[in-house]
A = this chain, B = another copy of it.
Amino acid sequence: MKKKYIMAPGPTEVPPEVLAEAAKPVMHHRTPQFRRILTEVLDNMKYVLGTTRSVYILASSGTGAMEAAIANVVSAGDKVIVGTIGAFGDRWESMAKAYGAAVVKIAPEWGYALKVEEVKAALDANPDATALFIQLNETSTGVYNDVEAIGKLTANHKALLVVDGISGIGAQPFYMDKWGVDVTVIGSQKGLMIPPGLAYVSCSEKAWKVIEANKTPKFYFDLKRYEKSLTKEKMPDTPWTSAVSLIMQQAVALRLIKEETNEKVWERHAKLSKAVREGIKALGLELFAKENPAVVLTSIVAPQGIDTKILVKKIRDDYGISMAGGQGKMEGLIFRVGTLGYTDRFDPIMGVAAVEMALKEMGAAIEIGKGVKRVMEVLMEDYK
């Protein structure tokens, strides 16, 4: 018997009542019965995103929602700015180029956040830029950006602010309208606590004007079709067949989030990730994030002589916990411990315990229990 756990930055564990929802009989999507559920999901997503604007629900992974953003706001020949602090920021660049945009790139060293003054300089130097693409949280490095400060810059610029909130939203503070975010994208398998397969997009009025004029070839991700379907027969619908079982699950998960409240969800993620960080530091290991450490996961530099591909495999195959290794150029060099979604105070304890035991077995100079002790102390303090 091996109990299985997910401590990855997505997919995350799904609450039992949300899992059970998927075992209910499938509903037909073009019925008032289903569309009432869709209405509830879209309303609660507005609450999660902090917006009064329409929310569109896509049957796709988060990358599909990123493409929806690109295909609806970018026209071939546009100049766009990409602020990338890791592998998912680089994806914005690849996508924008695939759609024929000229990309001005801001790319600090991995482990750092975007510097607001560098973003300002790029916007000032490129008054013709039509969009700025960034991440709320960069999952590959475990670093978040100061979206609020960046939103103040684009407010007075032609460029739309497009934010990949796939891993960050539902875990850390985010206020789409208040911060002036023009396009927000998010996936279902992170803070939203359901399996992968749904994604969401929401757009400001400033973005919508661009979208209405945009002629880039698209169909499935054409947001105008989604907007139109929201008001069909006075009840929300989706332009293509809704992923009904995932949407039924999302309804249940969003009720849990709303009951806890955004603020308490953010606070919980902050506490749990802090506990992991403190435990890891107490063990003498180095955090990979040099600033703005993520709340959805903690990225950790491998001790001398440890290949994190082997470490992650061992923790998964021997102990039953799925963590994440390094992505792209950090493969083998860092590992990442998630504290995202359906999580509570024993997750950091379990995660740090697994890291300690596995590193010790692999021959690293680890004093067993030292990290976990610190995790417990921090939790007792923060949960007082």
Secondary structure of the A contact surface, majority rule = loop
Interface-located stretch among A55-63, A121-129, A294-302: A55-63
User: In the bound complex, what is the Cα–Cα distance between A29 and B216 (angstroms)?
Assistant: 32
The reply on A47 being an interface residue by CB < 8 A is no
In the complex, the answer to whether A25 meets B19 with C-beta atoms within 8 Å is yes
Of all chain B residues, which has the CB nearest A70? B219
User: In the bound complex, what is the Cα–Cα distance between A335 and B219 (angstroms)?
Assistant: 28
User: In the bound complex, what is the Cα–Cα distance between A67 and B222 (angstroms)?
Assistant: 11
Closest Cβ of chain B: how far from A219's Cβ, in Å?
5
Interface-located stretch among A130-138, A152-160, A168-176, A189-197: A189-197
The reply on A261 being an interface residue by CB < 8 A is no
In the complex, the answer to whether B243 meets A197 with C-beta atoms within 8 Å is yes
Of all chain B residues, which has the CB nearest A24? B19
In the complex, the answer to whether B243 meets A195 with C-beta atoms within 8 Å is yes
Q: What B residues does A240 contact at CB under 8 A?
A: 61-64
- Which chain A residues numbered 320 to 345 have a C-beta less than 8 Å away from chain B? 322, 324
In the complex, the answer to whether A25 meets B14 with C-beta atoms within 8 Å is yes
The reply on A264 being an interface residue by CB < 8 A is no
Contact with B along A225-241 (1 / 0, CB 8 A): 00000000000000111
Interface-located stretch among A2-10, A110-118, A205-213, A354-362: A2-10
Interface-located stretch among A94-102, A140-148, A272-280, A283-291: A94-102
User: In the bound complex, what is the Cα–Cα distance between A13 and B24 (angstroms)?
Assistant: 11
User: In the bound complex, what is the Cα–Cα distance between A11 and B8 (angstroms)?
Assistant: 32
In the complex, the answer to whether A23 meets B25 with C-beta atoms within 8 Å is no
Q: What B residues does A195 contact at CB under 8 A?
A: 22, 26, 243-246
Closest Cβ of chain B: how far from A167's Cβ, in Å?
11
Of all chain B residues, which has the CB nearest A248? B195
What's the tally of chain A residues with a CB closer than 8 Å to chain B?
60
Closest Cβ of chain B: how far from A247's Cβ, in Å?
9
Q: What B residues does A20 contact at CB under 8 A?
A: 23
In the complex, the answer to whether A59 meets B219 with C-beta atoms within 8 Å is no
In the complex, the answer to whether A217 meets B98 with C-beta atoms within 8 Å is yes
In the complex, the answer to whether B98 meets A196 with C-beta atoms within 8 Å is no
- Contacting residue for A220 out of B12, B31, B63, B244, CB 8 A: B63
- Contacting residue for A196 out of B4, B11, B24, B241, CB 8 A: B241
Closest Cβ of chain B: how far from A113's Cβ, in Å?
24
Interchain residue pairs with CB less than 8 A apart (14): A6-B25, A11-B28, A11-B244, A19-B22, A30-B324, A59-B61, A60-B220, A61-B243, A62-B241, A63-B239, A66-B220, A71-B217, A99-B219, A246-B246
Q: Which A residues lie at the B interface, using CB under 8 A?
A: 4, 6, 8, 10-14, 19-20, 22-31, 59-64, 66-67, 70-71, 76, 94-95, 98-100, 187, 189, 195-198, 216-222, 239-246, 316, 322, 324
- Beyond the given pairs A11-B26, A19-B23, 17 more chain A to chain B contacts, judged by CB atoms under 8 angstroms and listed by A's residue number, are A6-B27, A13-B26, A19-B25, A20-B23, A22-B245, A26-B189, A61-B240, A66-B220, A76-B217, A94-B219, A98-B217, A187-B241, A196-B241, A196-B244, A197-B246, A216-B217, A217-B217
